[in-house]
Structure formats: structure tokens, C-alpha cells
Structure 1
Amino acid sequence: MSIFIQDLVFECSDFIGINWKDMPFTVLPVIQDLMASGISVWIYSGDTDGRVPVTTTRYDINKLQTPVKTPWYPWMYQGEVGGYVVGYENVTFVTIRGAGHFVPSYQPGRALAFFTSFLEGKLPTDH
């Protein structure tokens, strides 16, 4: 079983952010529990996301202290770099080039290629 998560922050509404009082500080414990159960977690992020930048997601993934299985490499979409991917133990982080916070609305083709890879259980390579 696998699960994918967009970014590591779920607050997308000021109303929710102001009124939700029991909001967890981080979802990292949930991700750790999923990893410990053997579920492969995919985290993705648009590389132009101003709400949750790739650097922030990478910083949070580093807090999981999980070993890298597949070092960073570019994945391709229609002959262009679609983004970058790094595979950790039970966690995969994929970036989607040219996408903002709502990846499918910015880059629908790249989002579909990435999601197809997720469903196939394979790291993105060339679509």
C-alpha cells in the first residue's frame, strides 16, 4: 500500500488556520507511523510553490532521518525535465517543474505522469 502527500502543510485557508484550534504542529509523526507500517509514502511539491517551497519540504524530510536509497535525479516528461525525485527508505519526494501549490492546475501533464508512476509503484523516469 502507498500514500502520497502534497507538501507537508495542509493549511490552505485563512478561515481554517484561524479557527482550527487543535491543528497539529507537523504531520511528520503521521508520516513516520505510515513508514513504520511499511506503507510507501510519496510527498510531492511544485517547484514554484510559494506556500510550501521545495526547500521547506526537503528540510522537513531530513527531520525523518531516513536513508537515501535513490539519490536526486531529474525525471523526464515529453523530452523535458518534469522535475526531480529522490527515494528514501519508505519515502519518495518528487518535485514537479513549473508547478505551484496546486500541481495539477499548473502542470496537468506532468502531474498525471507523476501520479501514474505512483500508481505503478515506480519512481518517475521518462514519460
Structure 2
Amino acid sequence: MSSTASVYSDYIGSVWNDQPLTVLPIIQELMASGISVWIYSGDTDSVVPVTTTKYGIDKLQTSVKTKWYPWYLQGEVGGYVVGYENLTFVTIRGAGHFVPSYQPARALAFFSSFLDGILPPTN
């Protein structure tokens, strides 16, 4: 990063106070209230990569109820899912940051699972 960019970055970071540095406390609060939280990520998302989301979830220190497994749509792997206590993490295969625009059918399938209160299908 150039020195000019660094100065601007430091300045913006010191005056931009209208958003939290992390949403983890909000997620913990929702989970503690009994609300089932779903987090999803496209597996080619360069803005919020799957690994970064996974690291964040690990900081919540919640127990795994359903181990990682592939979920399917129309005979193809749609992504992967892991179920925790009051939290579900779903990946969508072949999707970037705006999941519905990259993989609309897979986005609809996982969102329908969320609305139905069930994990995405195993086959």
C-alpha cells in the first residue's frame, strides 16, 4: 500500500464510527435468543471468502450438530453445509459475492431450506 493510501486508510478508520468492526456479538445475541441464524457464502467470493467466515464462526465457540456435508440440487453438488447450535453455515458452489446473481437456482434452493427450517438436501 502506498504511503498516501495508508494515510487515507488510517484517517477513514479513525473517523468512520457508524458500523461495528465485527457482527459476531450480534450473531451471538441472536443465537442466545433462540433464533436460528443462517450464514451463507459463495465459494468463489473474494470479498468475504468461505475461510474468513469459517474463522469467524469458530470464534463463536458453538458446538457442531451436523458435520460438513455436500448438499445437492438437480443431481449436482450445490455447496456444503454445517449445522451448529442455532447457526447454520451454507456454501454455494460456483457463486461469488452476490450469490443469487451467480447461482440463482442454488440460491433459491438454500433459501427455501431456510424458510422451511430444514438443512439443504443431501441428494
Aligned to 1:53: 49
Runs of 4+ in 1 over 3 A off after TM superposition: 17-20
CA RMSD, aligned part only? Answer: 1.6
- Report how far residue 20 of structure 1 moved: 4.0
Q: Give distance in 2, aligned partners of 1:117 and 1:84.
A: 13
Aligned to 1:124: 120
2:94 to 87, 98, 112: 98
Aligned to 2:60: 64
Q: Residue type matched to 2:120 in 1?
A: P
Structure 1 range deviating more: 73-82 or 17-26: 17-26
Q: More helix by proportion, 1 or 2?
A: 2
Q: Give distance in 2, aligned partners of 1:23 and 1:48.
A: 26
Matching of residue 86 in structure 1 with residue 82 in structure 2: yes
Structure of larger gyration radius: 2
Gaps of 5+ in 2: 1-11
User: How many pairs are equivalent?
Assistant: 111
Aligned to 1:24: 20
Aligned to 2:29: 33
Aligned to 1:10: none
Structure 1 range deviating more: 18-27 or 117-126: 18-27
Gaps of 5+ in 1: 1-16
- Report how far residue 60 of structure 1 moved: 0.3
